[in-house]
Structure formats: structure tokens, C-alpha cells
Amino acid sequence: MKRLVIPILAGLVLGVLVHLVGVLLMPYLAERDAYARLSEVGQVNAVTLVENRRLLAEALPASDPAFVTAVCLYDLTVAPLKVRTPTTEDYTSISFYTRRGLPFYAINDRSAGRTIIELDLMNARQKAAMPEDEEVTVADRLVVESPTQKGIVVIRGLARERGAREEVQAAIASATCTPTPASE
């Protein structure tokens, strides 16, 4: 019996390691990640309202049906982006993900404290090239640094009641995600 304990423990440890490596490598080996699935309905550097529930569930699992969702597939190779969305009456959020689905920043209307959430999305090179202006404070300009060139911006607005859904859809559909010159 003592001879079997070490091989069994070694087998269990090896099994756990293989499982962990497989799970961690899966996002990098997947052919149709969220970015690829969402590119079928949206364009790069443009906001697209996602009304197809099946696509939303495939690309963004566990999405709450009470939320109206829009996405912007971004590509920062040419220029930074200005992401701008009006807030809704109940709740509005903007979340940033890498192409592989790793979240790196999120903000909601309560945190922003404004009726319009406005952010500049840049890569590290573009952020370093920004002129340092002493008159522009953090409260005036919110800059988000993306760890990757491509990714996904998810904009959500809560429609607490069915009657408010059209109003929330109109607000979320008016969001913009447009390239801006680096000097702005």
C-alpha cells in the first residue's frame, strides 16, 4: 500500500498541473474569441448596439437581459480613441477588455459624476507622447491606457422597467468611439 501512495499523489499533482495549463492557454488557442464573434456584427472604432441575445450570450457570457449593451471593437495602431456616452437614468457603465477578454478598466456613471462619461483610450506610446499640460487636470480629462492594441469596449445601460428600454437604447446607441489625433 505504501508503494502506491507516491505514484497516486504524483498522478494527482500532474493531473492538476495539466488541467491548469490547459485552462490558462485556452484563450490564446481559441480561434473564435469574443473579438472575432463581435466583429461579425460591428465595425472597428465604432459603437454597435448588440440586440441579438444569442450573440451577446456567446460573446459576453452571463450578460443580464435587463441591460442594453453596445460594443466598440477598438484598434489603437493609428490613433487613440475618444469614448463618449451619455448616462441613463438608472445606471450606465463602460468596461474595457483586451482582445483576449481580460478586463483592465471600468467606470460607471456614479464614479464619473457627470451626465456624459468621456474617456481617452490610448496605448502606452500614445500616452507617453501626450504633452504635459499643467492646466488640464485629472478631473478634466480621463485617460485610460490599454495594455494591447486591439480590444473591446462594452457600454451598458440598465433598463429597470420595460417601458424605459427604448429610452435607454437611444442613449446607449448615441455613444461614440472615434479615433482622435494624438495632439488633442
Using DSSP bridges, classify how beta strands 150-158 and 92-98 pair: parallel, antiparallel or unpaired: antiparallel
Provide the whole-model pTM: 0.79
Most confident of the ranges 4-8, 23-27, 108-112: 4-8
Q: Could you tell me the fold of the domain covering 34-179?
A: Immunoglobulin-like (2.60.40)
Nearest to 121 by CA among 105, 100, 103: 105
- Judged against a pLDDT cut of 80, whether residue 183 lies above it is answered with no
DSSP 46: S
pLDDT number for residue 55: 75
More confident residue, 63 or 120: 120
Q: Are the beta carbons of 182 and 79 closer than 8 angstroms?
A: yes
Most confident of the ranges 59-63, 101-105, 167-171: 167-171
Amino acid at residue number 76: L
> How far are the Cα atoms of 29, 37, 62, 88 from residue 176, in angstroms, in the given order?
31, 21, 25, 15
Mean pLDDT calculated for residue range 2-21: 90
pLDDT number for residue 31: 74
Least confident of 15-24, 46-55, 64-73: 46-55
Mean pLDDT calculated for residue range 28-36: 75
Q: Are the beta carbons of 107 and 167 closer than 8 angstroms?
A: no
- Judged against a pLDDT cut of 70, whether residue 136 lies above it is answered with no
pLDDT number for residue 114: 77
pLDDT band at 63 (very low <50, low <70, confident <90, very high): confident
Domain boundaries, the chain: 1-30, 34-179
pLDDT band at 140 (very low <50, low <70, confident <90, very high): low
Cell representation of residue 16:
492538476
Alpha carbon of residue 79 to chain centroid: 18
C-alpha neighbours within 13 Å on the C-beta side of residue 84: 9
